[in-house]
Amino acid sequence: MLGAIYITVDYIDVYTETKDLLRYTSSSSVRVKILICLSEGHETMSALKKETGITSSTLSHNLSDLEKRKISTKEGEKYFLTSMGKIITLNLIENIKTNAAINKFQRLWLGHDISCIPPHLIKRVGDLHKSVLVESESGEIFKPHETYQKIISGSKYIRGVSPIFRFDYIDLYQKLVVEHDIDVELILTQDIVNRTLEGIDGENLEHLQDFMSRDKVKFWVIPDDVKIAFTVTDKYLSLGLFHENGDYDNTKDLISDDHDAVAWGNQLFNHYRNQAEKLEL
């Protein structure tokens, strides 16, 4: 606890030392637009005017000021970011994306448990800003069955962490493995594995064993109680969270086909797979 206090005080001191730069780079919509445009590469004054809709005189004043602060520079008729300017702008864009994801999906974050998302991915939650929040009062997000099929159809792989285990998906996964040569990796908690095996009959156990014996199918088990549910493919991310009271919220699902969101989901899966062990029946 004492260490946490020192860290908090340290960041307060850092903020005090850097607040002027923070305020300068983010408080002016004109400068923000200029920096975002220059992050794509060299730009002429006419190109900046066309992209931003800002007058030449306002652009000229702000570009001159950015150059004095060594954030941007000029060669001939083209403006571009300095090395320091690139660092500032990349982090500025990341902050914009984060704020967009927070604002857009407030109903998902509020009242939900995010403790199972590791800090390095919390920092990159802006990668989800192009997602869509699917909501259902009935809680049947993936029914009718075609909704879930759409997410995973045509994929090269399916990876997921699930708070439940549904046998009706085994036939779907098996069809995809056999007919479309798709890799399937699923991570289950030890509690779900125990409850599944306790309630399974001989026929279903044999069916499950046959499915798990295929080269393209991997089941993993993780000892801890994971309060998150998601499926990620090479094309889609589907993410669900638990309420803070511990119940899974099956009325809200974040879905995205954006490259950054899919990459985020794959990193989240790898985070849990690194903690898991291969499930053997």
- Picking from 96, 125, 154, the residue at the C-terminal end of a domain is 96
Same domain flag for 118 and 219: yes
Closest CA to 239 of 257, 223, 218, 221: 257
Going from the C-alpha of 175 to that of each of 145, 157, 161, 184, 230, the distances in angstroms are 14, 13, 20, 11, 21
The reply to whether 228 and 89 lie within a common domain is no
pLDDT of 111 over the 70 cut: yes
Are residues 174 and 47 part of one domain? no
- Considering the domain architecture, whether residues 84 and 199 belong to the same structural domain is answered as no
Judge whether 164 lies within some domain.
yes
- Residue 265 falls within a domain, yes or no? yes
Task: Assess if residue 51 is contained within a domain.
Answer: yes
H or E stretch covering 164: none
Q: Are residues 43 and 118 in the same domain?
A: no
Q: For 189-221, b where at least 16 C-beta lie within 10 A, e where not — what string?
A: beebbeebeeebeeeeeebbeebbeeeebbbbb
Q: 3-class secondary structure for 145-157?
A: HHHHHHHHCCCCE
The mean of the pLDDT values for the chain is 88
Decide if 105 is inside a domain: no
pLDDT at residue 54 is higher than 80: yes
d(CA 255, CA 260) in angstroms, rounded, equals: 12
pLDDT at 169 over 80: no
Q: End of a domain among 96, 125, 159? A: 96
What distance in Å separates the CA atoms of residue 119 and residue 45, rounded to the nearest whole number?
40
Sequence-ordered strand ranges (E) for 234-280 = 237-243, 252-256, 277-278
Whether 62 contacts 29, CB under 8 Å:
no
How buried is residue 7: exposed, middle or buried, by Cβ count under 10 Å (0-12/13-18/19+)?
Answer: exposed
Q: Which pLDDT score is estimated for 172? A: 77
Per-residue DSSP letter, 227: -
Residues 243 and 177 in one domain: yes
Q: Are residues 45 and 151 in the same domain?
A: no
- Same domain? For 263 and 124 the reply is yes
Residue listed under structure tokens 């000229």: 60
Q: Do 83 and 123 lie in a common domain?
A: no
Residues 79, 167 within the same domain: no
Q: How many independent structural domains does the chain possess?
A: 2
Residues 120 and 39 in one domain: no
Of 56-70, 100-114, 161-175, the poorest mean pLDDT is in: 161-175
SS3 275: coil
Alpha carbons 242 and 252: distance in angstroms, whole number: 10
- Choose the final residue of a domain: 96, 128, 158: 96
How much is the pLDDT for 143? 46
Structural domain includes residue 106: no
**Quick check: is 178 in a domain?**
yes
- Interhelix angle 29-38/45-52, nearest 10 degrees: 120
CATH for 88: 1.10.10.10
CATH number for position 187: 3.30.870.10
Q: For 127-163, how does the pLDDT look when each residue is reduced to its tens digit (9 = 90+)?
A: 999 999 988 765 555 543 556 677 777 788 999 998 7
The answer on 241 and 182 residing in a single domain is yes
Residue range 50-66: mean pLDDT, rounded: 96
Domain interval for residue 218: 111-278
- Residue appearing with tokens 């509690």: 191
238 lies in a domain?
A: yes
The residue-averaged pLDDT of 233-252 equals: 92
Q: Quote the pTM value.
A: 0.87
Residue 90 lies in a domain: yes
What percentage of residues in the chain have a pLDDT greater than 90? 60
